[in-house]
Amino acid sequence: MKKIVYIFLTTLILTLVISCKGDWLDINEDPNNPSNTVASVDSRLPWIQHHYLYAQMSAGTRANYITQQITYISSTAANSVLAGWNPVSGSVTLPYQWFFVVAAANFKDLEEKATAEGAWHYVGAVKAIRAMGFMLMVDWYGEMPYTEALSESITPKYDDGETIFNGCLADLDEAIKYFNMTQEPAATPLEKGDSWNGGDVQKWIKMCYGVKARWLNNLSKKSRYDTAEILDALSKAPASNNDNTVVNHVDVASDNVGDVMWADPLMASIVFDNVGMNTSVRITKWYEDILINFDQKGIEDPRADKLIPWAQFRQGKSYIRSKGVDMSSDIRMNQGPKGTTFNTSDAPIQNNGRTVPAHSWYVNTADSRRWGDTVYVSFRSSAIGYYGDTQEIYRFSDGTVASTATFYSRPDGPTHFLCYHEMCFIKAEVLFRQGDKSGAFAAYKEGIKAHIDLMNQKLNTYGNVNPSKSPMSQEKINIFLADAIGDASNLTLGKIMTQKFIALSFMQQNWNDMRRMDYRADVYQGWNIPYEYSQNSTAQTKIPLGRQFRRMMQPSLEKTYNSDNLAESHPNAMSDDIWSFPVWWDIEE
């Protein structure tokens, strides 16, 4: 593992001397003589935070192809086949690389230096991130080197999921202990290096308890599931939006220095890096449906306009919201949806035997079945920093808006890392399981409201730019909360989990929840396995009929450098069908 973890060590050292204008990654100390001894605790922590965040959010993006928040135009790209439950190795490696290569490789040096100066809050931060990183590995791959992972061993042994899970809980408790300690007088203040909570130790402590509640609730299939323990953690977790850990990204001209791994911008949203740069990503009909007609009430969620992309159509440049791609249909088996283009000229053009009016959308294909694919709008955003544009709205050369992007896919979209609304939904689930439907409904409704309010905090900073980039009206919010979500008498686990899915858009936790709920259509209202999977024999060798998408295959680095230990980690570790085997917490007891 040392060979694997440090395979990009030279690149990592270069990372430590990159200069950027943003305060939260401005870490230069000695640009002429970089080394692991030069990097101070406050210069190393924001890079660990950045790289871990990229691991988590890239996992979340890929997980949401599996869970059908998003899909991809018909192609052989890794994310496209992933959406059809026909996974390939190209989808599995990124979270592993970002966690081990450029985050975990720094843990030891940061902890030792922080300990030497009595900077206990930095020790707490690295222990918390270590715990979250290894738990991500459990959620993603099931088994993983853990006790020997960051040691001198070149071929570290694998640990089972339960061992890693327990170790991560212990690390989280250790983190809380260090955050509660008083730093030495000369120690570096946490606020100098903390890009998540601005040095607010109480937010870190609440974040740790919130993460703990999340993990304990993921044990709903296990005999050790303890509702009292979860509620105790929730009592110390974020109790309002003021307690949230939100990573506020920015889109600025100076953010033009690419990250060492993928040359992505450093201060922009990770969802922008994974989705907003792309013209191939589309919303699904299932996600659209739960936003526009939740619980079949016919009342649209005020968040729909903000979470579904829009574009301008027709001569008058009217804004029209994207339709969702129906993953229960054969559309992707019929080469759809196809990418769209635009006639920016002042005159009609001829294309594949038809006339395309001036300033209008079209699909450049002779297949007339695909001409209607213009109704599907991409998540694409422009950017001031990455693209050198004057704004982040993606336009054609004649000024027509090609996509408004969405709340999370813009470069300045926030990452709702650990927030009050998730705590509310966890509480609602726990109380529902206990039979307290009144308490569960209060928590469920509060979770919806908290997420709407949190979105509006950001949307209010934009003004009224377009239907996607403007605040939600209080009138629509009130109608939705009063008439669309039901009441305590008709509350179901499905309503709780479906609303939680919306509030946790682009988060890895959605896949965790959907797995432990066994992808049940009565829990995730109207959800179905992609139709194309049922027609694809190749996909069925990876996820046999009657089974479900339960984990990711280990990346090729493990197969190449640690194959013997990998083979011993699970009976099917080297088999094509490993994707269908549950991780530890997903196995019923």
d(CA 424, CA 447): 5
Q: Is residue 433 part of a domain?
A: no
* pLDDT tens digits along 37-51: 678 999 999 999 999
Same domain, 205 and 308: no
Question: What's the confidence (pLDDT) of residue 221?
Answer: 98
CB atoms under 10 Å from CB of 441, counted, come to 22
Contact partners, residue 484, CB within 8 Å, separation at least 6: 294, 295, 297, 299, 301
Residue 79 belongs to domain spanning: 2-268+529-586
Cβ contact 385:252 at 8 Å = yes
Average pLDDT taken over every residue of the chain: 93
Cβ contact 524:517 at 8 Å = yes
Same domain, 254 and 284: no
| Beta strand segments in 353-460, E | 354-356, 360-362, 394-395, 401-403, 415-418
d(CA 303, CA 296): 17
The last residue of a domain, from among 377, 403, 429:
403
Cβ contact 397:258 at 8 Å = no
The last residue of a domain, from among 357, 385, 403:
403
| Beta strand segments in 520-565, E | none
Residue 36: pLDDT band with limits 50, 70, 90: low
The tokens for 46 are 């924001």
Residue type, 29: E
Question: What's the confidence (pLDDT) of residue 33?
Answer: 52
Q: Is residue 18 part of a domain?
A: yes
Cβ contact 386:293 at 8 Å = no
Q: Is residue 467 part of a domain?
A: no
Same domain, 213 and 342: no
- What is the total count of domains within the chain? 2
pLDDT over 50 (residue 24): no
Please report, for the domain that includes residue 548, its CATH number.
Answer: 1.25.40.390
Q: Do the strands 354-356 and 349-351 form a parallel or antiparallel pair, or are they unpaired? A: antiparallel
| Alpha-carbon separation of residue 364 from 329, 337, 355, 370, 438 (angstroms) | 22, 12, 12, 9, 54
Same domain, 117 and 8: yes
The tokens for 166 are 């327990």
* pLDDT tens digits along 324-357: 999 999 999 999 999 999 999 999 999 999 999 9
d(CA 315, CA 53): 42
d(CA 122, CA 185): 14
Question: What's the confidence (pLDDT) of residue 262?
Answer: 78
Same domain, 237 and 310: no
Residue with tokens 């100098």: 192
Output b/e per residue, 18-33; b: 16+ Cβ within 10 A: bebbbebbebeeeeee
Contact partners, residue 306, CB within 8 Å, separation at least 6: 406, 407, 455, 459, 468, 472
Question: What's the confidence (pLDDT) of residue 315?
Answer: 66
With H, G, I as helix, E, B as strand and everything else as coil, classify residue 248: coil
Question: What's the confidence (pLDDT) of residue 317?
Answer: 85
Question: What's the confidence (pLDDT) of residue 16?
Answer: 33
Nearest to 400, CA basis, from 330, 320, 322: 320
CA 526 to chain centroid:
22
- Give me Rg for the CA atoms of the chain: 24
Alpha helices in 118-263 (DSSP H): 120-141, 161-179, 201-217, 227-234
Cβ contact 191:197 at 8 Å = no
pLDDT over 80 (residue 35): no
What average pLDDT does range 299-324 have in this prediction?
A: 94
Same domain, 196 and 217: yes
* pLDDT tens digits along 66-88: 999 999 999 999 999 999 999 99
d(CA 243, CA 414): 15
Same domain, 224 and 370: no
Same domain, 260 and 353: no
* pLDDT tens digits along 462-502: 999 999 999 999 999 999 999 999 999 999 999 999 999 99
Residue with tokens 């992007």: 405
CA 527 to chain centroid:
20
Question: What's the confidence (pLDDT) of residue 389?
Answer: 94
d(CA 78, CA 139): 20
Cβ contact 357:348 at 8 Å = yes
Residue with tokens 């469920």: 444
The last residue of a domain, from among 370, 403, 436:
403
d(CA 482, CA 57): 33
Same domain, 291 and 208: no
| Alpha-carbon separation of residue 238 from 208, 292, 411, 423 (angstroms) | 10, 29, 26, 7
* pLDDT tens digits along 421-457: 999 999 999 999 999 999 999 999 999 999 999 999 9
What average pLDDT does range 377-402 have in this prediction?
A: 95
* pLDDT tens digits along 198-248: 999 999 999 999 999 999 999 999 999 999 999 999 999 999 999 999 999
Predicted TM-score (pTM) of this structure: 0.94
d(CA 120, CA 180): 9
Same domain, 357 and 211: no
Report percent pLDDT > 70 for the chain. 93
